[in-house]
Structure 1
């Protein structure tokens, strides 16, 4: 790697705009959206879409709410030509949706393009040509005046061809390709020449589209370029100022956001950022970024996973599992501290209040996603996430100290398995640890009990099965069923804490009892859990659960 890359990669010059306004502005409305999935996105695929997949994706884009859709490059692709004609001839384009087609500045290509879309109610025809110095000098060998003359000539031709088809409303879009690398004065000269040649006005709409054809500078430089052009373009009131950001530096979304602050009214991009090299701007991310700032995006992503499935099937490109808003893992936390914060956020969130759940910038339900995968457990997880899953899926609310105990058990198993543990697996571990009698631990299993009250306290008769299945009867006295059970077991244990819960509502609710028990010869304490329709029985089972676990610890200590 070069020790001094500045000689090989000089920085893009800053724009002379000392009174720039965009940094102090706030986005308050969504732009006009143009989907270029069927053109720019399609030409970047390993295998371009066939007609069937193009039509399927077109209908999905319409359903989502795109009002402008670039449907192809008909002069360069027979599939595009036939697909576009099918959409027009079969009247499959809704009245409020405008298709766009692209062509280079060549007379034969422009003629073929007009023939393809003639008869449509309304259509945008997109002209483009590169204007930056490297392209002028290396690729085309043209001067700026020659480029201006070429643009004017082909737009005049386009006006003559379209005049023969008054049944169609024609909108011209002109893109000075490589705008972000061109001198601003050159960009302005070429764009104003196009505006005059088309004679843009109230009855002759026009779009000036300024692309980051190859992203070469920081987003603030692009925003300065947009604001500079926005102030100087001729007939500005009759233009729609559009941007087409690419993502070579990974900042396509930021470029689009800052360009809108600088005056851009329209954004071209692909649903999930598909496109040449590193892709076009990601429209889903850009739109949902607006949504999280309280701005209605005008696109329907309320079932974002259905959109993702169709896009993946049509393009054969997988969506990254950490893709913002859409990835399978984007709403998933493995980190213990994140899980704890998310669990607390859900507990505190009120349905009619602003969204304030830590680590979740948007409510997954707004995107048609569930809360099922928000917290997942692996070796990096903590007590908060484990407690959250038990509470959400099984209504088990553990005391804080029990969370610490149980998370250590789960962590040990997660480390050993070197994989993620599902909610079902965590529930199995919980049952095995606290609810399932294990004879090898203590040599006794609960069968039945009888309680009776006497002036000196409560008397319990416990029926337990030993390791061989033989019944044993134990008796004990105490000031309640828990104390009586401890006495009957005749073990060196004490009860340091007791809590009870109700699993469910109504008369059919199950009682859950939790005890914290300790023994002098065992470091720390052990929790026991009992679950039964009767709270007294649940309490007795909880004491037996804790006793079993203490006995197991004693056996290890010996």
Structure 2
């Protein structure tokens, strides 16, 4: 509810109203308090603080720093009982009333919505959302998925996004750096697509056919190490028949999840498929991309199977 004119939602709170510093950055016009601080002597003038052979403790702050509250960002909102929209809005209004000009806002990982958080509206500095999304060890699932969708047409399944986010965080934690959109794509392709053809179990050639209504046969030539063989499988679809063929080769595969989509409109546009597979108790996601939906799907299964590590045992 909007308070009546002349009143405040937080009547006991006094919003800072001091003069704006001449050198205040345009992106954070934080005002100091109107408190007459000149009436008070600095603590260093009132209390002797003997500091010898020390560098940074001797430094003094002559002005208040620029404050950026992070109480509404992703990590701080991953609560046992996450705030609902009304409580988050009231908290945001409180921070504004306290005089903060830069506020990090994000949707909690426990909520149904997942979008990247931004400290300011990019339009205010003549930029777009895509330009200011930063991929590092603090990135949420939404920012990673947004860049992959915007730059490469990938619409990651919701269930796959936490796994991709962990992959990004593992890399950026180790390097301490941020990833560009192209580096993010290279990481995704290397991690989730390349294992289809570079793992311990290689699908050399294959054919798939529907031998009867609702019955499919998959014939696979598989190579593992120095051994190669031809295996057949049947199922109610091409992927279930592939799983059956892998079982004949001694690799028991359960396909737990599957989705696919085109990356662009029009005939011949590449398709991307995603699968989650379980092999000997180990679970992993894989992805494939090809102008053929079936080929992309087969590659996704093989990538997931190889990523479990079961084929290397």
TM over 0.5: yes
Gaps of 5+ in 2: 8-14, 33-61, 64-99
- 2:131 aligns to what SS in structure 1? coil
Show the 5 A alignment for 1:330-479.
344=114, 359=118, 362=121, 364-365=122-123, 367-437=125-195, 441-454=199-212, 457-464=215-222, 467=225, 472-479=229-236
Tell me if 1:24 matches 2:6: yes
Show the 5 A alignment for 1:112-511.
220=17, 246-247=21-22, 254=31, 344=114, 359=118, 362=121, 364-365=122-123, 367-437=125-195, 441-454=199-212, 457-464=215-222, 467=225, 472-490=229-247, 491-511=251-271
Contact 1:336 1:383 (C-alpha < 8 Å) held by counterparts: no
Shift of 1:488: 1.0
Indicate how the Cα distance of structure 1 residues 447 and 365 shifts in structure 2: closer, same or farther if over 3 A, else same: farther
Shift of 1:503: 0.7
Tell me if 1:519 matches 2:279: yes
- Look up the match of 2:72: none
The CA distance in 1 between the partners of 2:232 and 2:287, in whole Å, is: 21
Indicate how the Cα distance of structure 1 residues 439 and 514 shifts in structure 2: closer, same or farther if over 3 A, else same: closer
Gaps of 5+ in 1: 1-22, 26-217, 223-243, 256-276, 279-323, 347-357
Tell me if 1:539 matches 2:297: yes
TM-score (norm 2): 0.60
The CA distance in 2 between the partners of 1:247 and 1:456, in whole Å, is: 75
Root mean square deviation of aligned Cα: 4.2
Task: Figure out how many residues of one structure are paired with residues of the other and give that number.
Answer: 234
Shift of 1:434: 1.7
Shift of 1:382: 2.5
Indicate how the Cα distance of structure 1 residues 427 and 246 shifts in structure 2: closer, same or farther if over 3 A, else same: closer
Q: If you compute each CA radius of gyration, which structure gives the higher value, 1 or 2?
A: 1
Shift of 1:438: 6.1
The CA distance in 2 between the partners of 1:473 and 1:540, in whole Å, is: 16
The CA distance in 2 between the partners of 1:434 and 1:546, in whole Å, is: 7
Shift of 1:471: 6.7
The CA distance in 2 between the partners of 1:398 and 1:253, in whole Å, is: 39
Contact 1:340 1:382 (C-alpha < 8 Å) held by counterparts: no
Shift of 1:248: 8.5
Indicate how the Cα distance of structure 1 residues 477 and 494 shifts in structure 2: closer, same or farther if over 3 A, else same: same
Which structure's residues are more often helix, by fraction? 1
The CA distance in 1 between the partners of 2:292 and 2:237, in whole Å, is: 15
- 2:128 aligns to what SS in structure 1? coil
Shift of 1:457: 1.5
The CA distance in 1 between the partners of 2:110 and 2:182, in whole Å, is: 19
Show the 5 A alignment for 1:92-131.
none
TM-score (norm 1): 0.36
Contact 2:203 2:223 (C-alpha < 8 Å) held by counterparts: yes
Indicate how the Cα distance of structure 1 residues 504 and 245 shifts in structure 2: closer, same or farther if over 3 A, else same: closer
Shift of 1:487: 0.9
Shift of 1:504: 0.4
The CA distance in 2 between the partners of 1:340 and 1:371, in whole Å, is: 23
Contact 1:440 1:467 (C-alpha < 8 Å) held by counterparts: no
The CA distance in 2 between the partners of 1:520 and 1:471, in whole Å, is: 21
Indicate how the Cα distance of structure 1 residues 387 and 340 shifts in structure 2: closer, same or farther if over 3 A, else same: farther
- 1:401 aligns to what SS in structure 2? coil
- 1:432 aligns to what SS in structure 2? helix
Shift of 1:380: 1.7
- 1:500 aligns to what SS in structure 2? strand
Show the 5 A alignment for 1:5-24.
24=6
Give a deviation string over 1:361-386, Cα, whole Å, max 9, x none.
Answer: 53x34653133332211122232221
Contact 2:246 2:252 (C-alpha < 8 Å) held by counterparts: no
